[in-house]
Amino acid sequence: MLDIKNLHVKIADEDTEILKGVNLTVNPGEVHAIMGPNGSGKSTLSYVLSGKEDYEVTEGSVTYDGADLLDMEIEERASAGLFLAFQYPIEIPGVPTMTFLRTALNAQRKARGEEELTTPAFMKLVKEKAQQLKVRPEMLKRPVNVGFSGGEKKRAEILQMAVLEPKLCVLDETDSGLDIDALRVVAEGVNALRSPDRAMIVITHYQRLLEYIVPDVVHVLSNGRVVKTGGKELALELEANGYAEFETEAA
């Protein structure tokens, strides 16, 4: 589904290279976890996948569903099923979350040549998903992420994901800021989306999330490279020993 080959990325207008040859293959139905020290390039990878303009790909390729992902506009990637749950969700003052979501869903459907959803059908869908994720309906009337607590923002991201039903979900530190109960609710929400034709990339610092969302593969990203790949037990190992081993390797 996703094939990243020798990806080199630098910040546009600067020389600092952040990703230094990342290789990663994700198949439908799989859940991949990416762990790694602060500043190793995890968020950068998620941004490059979704098309953020501050970065420049200097080498390598990314293929998504057979297409050249790097050649697609941001919104094209979205309607092709790529979703990024932001590490720091963005506020949009004055735009009710509900309106934002409906506009987004219908824009995606339109781009895919599907019928737009009627207002009642949309309301029904959102209410259902909100209930599953224990998001209070009043929150949907509030402007996108404005005044949301850290945990509420993360939950709202997952709600958006559940409504948009993407094919490739990239979750950037969705667990940080969540209390223990919220973590379980969100993880259940994510697990409910697991399906044979949907893949996930879960970026996290903590083994705890992976107890709920059990990954098929765990990668360690350090200093812009995938330095180790293993099964779910790799996360446990990291929890015990930290990243010291990889940092020396990278230096």
Partner 1 sequence: MAAVQDTIEQVRGVDVDKYKYGFKTEIESELAPKGLSEDIVRYISGKNDEPEWLLEWRLEAYRRWLTMEEPDWARVDYPKIDFQDLYYYAAPKTTEGPKSLDEVDPILLETYAKLGIPLKEQEILAGVRKHDEPSTLDEDGVGEMGSGRVAIDAVFDSVSVVTTFKKELAKAGVIFCSISEAVREHPELVKKYLGTVVPQSDNFYATLNSAVYSDGSFVYIPEGVRCPMELSTYFRINEENTGQFERTLIIAEKGSYVSYLEGCTAPMRDENQLHAAVVELVALDDAEIKYSTVQNWYPGDANGKGGIYNFVTKRGDCRGKNSKISWTQVETGSAITWKYPSCILRGENSRGEFYSIAISNGRQQVDSGTKMIHLGKNSSSRIISKGISAGHSQNTYRGLVSAHRKATGARNFTQCDSLLIGDKCGAHTVPYIEAKNSSSTFEHEATTSKISDDQMFYARQRGLGEEEAVALIVNGFVRDVLQHLPMEFMAETQKLIGISLEGSVG
Ligand X SMILES: Nc1ncnc2c1ncn2[C@@H]1O[C@H](COP(=O)(O)OP(=O)(O)OP(=O)(O)O)[C@@H](O)[C@H]1O
Provide the binding-site residues for partner 1, judged by CB under 8 A.
Answer: 50-54, 73-75, 77-79, 83-84, 86, 89-95, 99-101, 103-105, 107-108, 111, 143, 160, 164
**Phi/psi class of residue 66: alpha, beta or left (left: φ > 0; alpha: ψ in -120 to 50)?**
left
| Measured distance CA(52)–CA(64) in Å, rounded | 16
Least separation in angstroms between residue 7's CB and Mg ion is: 17
In this complex, which beta carbon is closest to ligand X, that of residue 87 or of residue 108?
A: 87
In this complex, which beta carbon is closest to partner 1, that of residue 115 or of residue 233?
A: 115
Residue 242 binds ligand X (CB under 6 A): no
CA distances from 44 to 65, 82, 224, 225, 232 (A): 21, 16, 9, 12, 23
In this complex, which beta carbon is closest to ligand X, that of residue 24 or of residue 162?
A: 24
Q: Whose CA is closest to 173, among 52, 36, 77? A: 36
Least separation in angstroms between residue 97's CB and partner 1 is: 11
Instruction: Determine the Cα angle at 79 with ends 77 and 82, to 5°.
Output: 50
Of the candidate residues 43, 204, 222, 223, the single one contacting Mg ion (CB under 5 A): 43
| Measured distance CA(152)–CA(139) in Å, rounded | 9
In this complex, which beta carbon is closest to partner 1, that of residue 87 or of residue 223?
A: 87
Residue 207 binds Mg ion (CB under 5 A): no
Among partner 1, Mg ion, ligand X, none, residue 243 binds (CB under 5-8 Å by kind) = none
Least separation in angstroms between residue 84's CB and Mg ion is: 12
Which stretch in 18-26, 74-82, 87-95, 223-231 sits in contact with Mg ion by CB under 5 A? 87-95
Residues 5-34 that bind ligand X (CB under 6 A): 11, 18
Least separation in angstroms between residue 82's CB and partner 1 is: 8
In this complex, which beta carbon is closest to Mg ion, that of residue 41 or of residue 166?
A: 41
**Contacting positions for ligand X (CB under 6 A):** 11, 18, 36, 38-44, 54, 87
Interface residue list for Mg ion (CB under 5 A)? 42-43, 87
